[in-house]
Structure 1
Amino acid sequence: MRQKRSTRKVLQYLKKTWTLYLMMVIPVTFAIVFRYLPMTNISMAFKDYNMFKGVWDSPWSDPIFKWFQKAFNTKDFWYALRNTIMLNGLDLIFGFPLPIILSLLLNELAYKRYKKFTQTIVYLPHFLSWIIISGIAKQLLAPRTGVVNIFLGKMGVGSIDFLQTSGLYVATYIALGLWKEMGWNTIIYLAAITGINPELYEAAEVDGASRLRKIWHVTLPGIRSTIVVLLIMNMGRILGSEFDRPFALQNDLVMNVADVLGTYVYRVGIRGFQFSLTAAVGLFQSVVCVIFLFAANSIAKRFGERGIW
């Protein structure tokens, strides 16, 4: 009898929601075909890959961790790993709190037209590719012909090599990343702020709270869960290196700080036809990123947050 009742409940539930499950067929199929099936090629990291034989017919490497050992025994890999952690860490330190601050400032603006105009101007750079941004940056920051250095020369300051000096390159790299993505990330926090109950602000105003007090005691606690989730996701990408940004901005003079794992894989693995090496480095990155993700999620739960699962 219990089984019949449970089957009836299941059938009734499916009759009501079958359209939702039907709509899920396309995204689930897409995820399986383009996300999970390609994971079978991870075995390339443990094989002596031959492009003419394919992944499955290529022989297993001897020893099995041959390509991992080859990567770990080269100085270029460790330099690229150091640079990846350094640049991503600086992106996290400076790039994570700025969208929060900007969203709080935009939320406090009284003039809606100015607020919308400012928000639009701020997040437009997100839609520009790094190739375009690097071209603009190289023209503006050129040592002799760049507008910035011409202006500095008229101010009595000497020419500054923004993209040819290691320290200045790192600062310019981070600044361009902040300019490009700060406004786009602000949208998420503004959406979270709109979900805060307006009665909380009214109660705080009745109690005599100033604007700063409202931000500290109402707005920030209201978007705390969103901040934690995004922080966990950013921690999961601490070792993940994008390719277009460093590749477009780097040059031979700053390779000691500009070469990251993404460009290292391209230069040594793909251009050098060492595809098994690229797979090994990519698998190493993924494993470390997953470890950081789980660690950040567990720490968030210990502090009383929900985490991402």
Structure 2
Amino acid sequence: MRLEALNRTAGAPPERSATTGRRTPFSSIRKGWRLYALIALPLVYLIVFKYVPMYGAQIAFKNYIVTKGIVGSEWVGFKHFIRFFHSYEFWRLMGNTIVLSLYSLVAGFPFPIILALCLNYVGSGLFKKSVQMITYAPHFISVVVMVGIILEMLDPRGGIVNAVLALFGANPINFMGEPGYFKSIYVWSGIWQNVGFGCIIYLAALSSIDPSLHEAAVVDGASKLQRMRHIDIPGIMPIAVIMLIMNTGHMLDVGFEKVLLMQNPLNLRTSEVIDTYVYKVGLASQAMNYSYSSAIGLFKSVVNLVLLVLVNKIAQKTKQASLW
């Protein structure tokens, strides 16, 4: 009786089956159809572009021939994986990919947090909005345009960087032709492009911190740096750990388009990564070895999954936020 009274006061009772009196499966869907319609498009995107292509991953274990199709091609087991592991390119590709990923993660991870902390304490609204617009804008520049800007700025004959060096009497440097400069150019240009957009998440986390904590800290005479250290950083730490776990899950995904566009024969020794190698052996070469390239791509995905699970488990062990 009490339950029925509560249902009547809360609104109309949920639709129930005429025979059993239980709630029907479609009653909740009909009630919240707008939410289901909103999620339908992303769900279709995931199914079509993420899950359906998994069917083709089996060609990594086959000697795929286009005329025979996926089903008719011969199974070869782990032949293509073994070929890649014993290839003279394996250690060079793994080394370049891991070093570039770790460099990007270590150098780029703190900057969105630092920018968000600084913007959080800016008093002038006009200055804050101006900084946000300036730092966010590069994120919306396409990769092709971004690489074009980099090449123009670092051009040894007319680039602005070499023009500045010439003012100090230094000789022009062919930055894109020196293998040792490639990783730094790639990483720091990426930080400049994405740091503003990345700090949006941390600004949202900072806005959820209880203002009474800052008020109490100000009354106690805490400086802004002390408030950052003892209030803001602990407040955004769960979000930072989640972002770190997700970035680690993409350790071997370094950005195929940008690396490929920045490559040239002079810096290929340090710029060749797994993604560009897969593209070259699978599509760009005349052999079009789809099975071999699929095996390499599948290996990369498995390594990313293992790293994701491992880092998430470490976060759980250390009592930090985790994905699950």
Do 2:178 and 2:267's aligned partners in 1 also have CA atoms closer than 8 Å?
yes
| Equivalent residue number for residue 108 of structure 2 | 95
Q: Which residue, 231, 237, 253 being the options, matches 1:218?
A: 231
Question: Aligned-residue CA RMSD in angstroms?
Answer: 2.0
Q: How many residues align?
A: 305
| Equivalent residue number for residue 236 of structure 1 | 249
The verdict on how the C-alpha distance between 1:27 and 1:142 changes in structure 2, with shifts beyond 3 A counting, is: closer
| Equivalent residue number for residue 271 of structure 2 | 258
TM-score (norm 2): 0.88
- What CA distance in whole angstroms lies between the structure 2 residues aligned with 1:138 and 1:15? 55
Give the alignment of 1:201-212 within 5 angstroms: 201-212=214-225
Report Cα offsets for 1:131-184 as digits up to 9, x if no partner: 111111111111122221122112111212221112222221111111111111
The verdict on how the C-alpha distance between 1:10 and 1:274 changes in structure 2, with shifts beyond 3 A counting, is: closer
Equivalent AA in structure 1 for residue 51 of structure 2:
Y
| Equivalent residue number for residue 154 of structure 1 | 167
Give the alignment of 1:144-223 within 5 angstroms: 144-223=157-236
Structure 1: segments with no counterpart, 5+ residues: none
Alpha-carbon shift at residue 208 of structure 1 (Å): 1.3
| Equivalent residue number for residue 313 of structure 2 | 298
Is 1:47 the counterpart of 2:62? The answer is: yes
Q: Which residue, 80, 87, 98 being the options, matches 1:67?
A: 80
- What CA distance in whole angstroms lies between the structure 2 residues aligned with 1:178 and 1:220? 21
TM-score (norm 1): 0.92
Alpha-carbon shift at residue 114 of structure 1 (Å): 0.7
Alpha-carbon shift at residue 13 of structure 1 (Å): 5.1
| Equivalent residue number for residue 45 of structure 2 | 30
- What CA distance in whole angstroms lies between the structure 1 residues aligned with 2:38 and 2:147? 41
Do 2:100 and 2:254's aligned partners in 1 also have CA atoms closer than 8 Å?
no
Percent of paired sites with the same residue: 39
Alpha-carbon shift at residue 29 of structure 1 (Å): 3.3
Alpha-carbon shift at residue 227 of structure 1 (Å): 0.3
Alpha-carbon shift at residue 236 of structure 1 (Å): 0.5
Do 2:177 and 2:264's aligned partners in 1 also have CA atoms closer than 8 Å?
yes
Give the alignment of 1:107-126 within 5 angstroms: 107-126=120-139
Q: Secondary structure at 1:151's aligned position in 2?
A: helix
The verdict on how the C-alpha distance between 1:24 and 1:159 changes in structure 2, with shifts beyond 3 A counting, is: closer
Is 1:58 the counterpart of 2:73? The answer is: yes
| Equivalent residue number for residue 145 of structure 2 | 132
Pick 1 or 2: higher relative contact order, CA cutoff 8 A, min separation 6: 1
Alpha-carbon shift at residue 33 of structure 1 (Å): 2.6
- What CA distance in whole angstroms lies between the structure 2 residues aligned with 1:306 and 1:7? 38
Equivalent AA in structure 1 for residue 242 of structure 2:
V
The verdict on how the C-alpha distance between 1:158 and 1:30 changes in structure 2, with shifts beyond 3 A counting, is: closer
Alpha-carbon shift at residue 5 of structure 1 (Å): 9.0
Q: Quick check: 149-158 or 79-88, which moved more?
A: 149-158
Equivalent AA in structure 2 for residue 238 of structure 1:
M
Equivalent AA in structure 2 for residue 102 of structure 1:
L
The verdict on how the C-alpha distance between 1:65 and 1:11 changes in structure 2, with shifts beyond 3 A counting, is: closer
Do 1:50 and 1:58's aligned partners in 2 also have CA atoms closer than 8 Å?
yes
Equivalent AA in structure 1 for residue 291 of structure 2:
S
Report Cα offsets for 1:188-223 as digits up to 9, x if no partner: 111111111111110111111110111011111111
Is 1:20 the counterpart of 2:35? The answer is: yes
The verdict on how the C-alpha distance between 1:6 and 1:35 changes in structure 2, with shifts beyond 3 A counting, is: farther
The verdict on how the C-alpha distance between 1:206 and 1:82 changes in structure 2, with shifts beyond 3 A counting, is: same
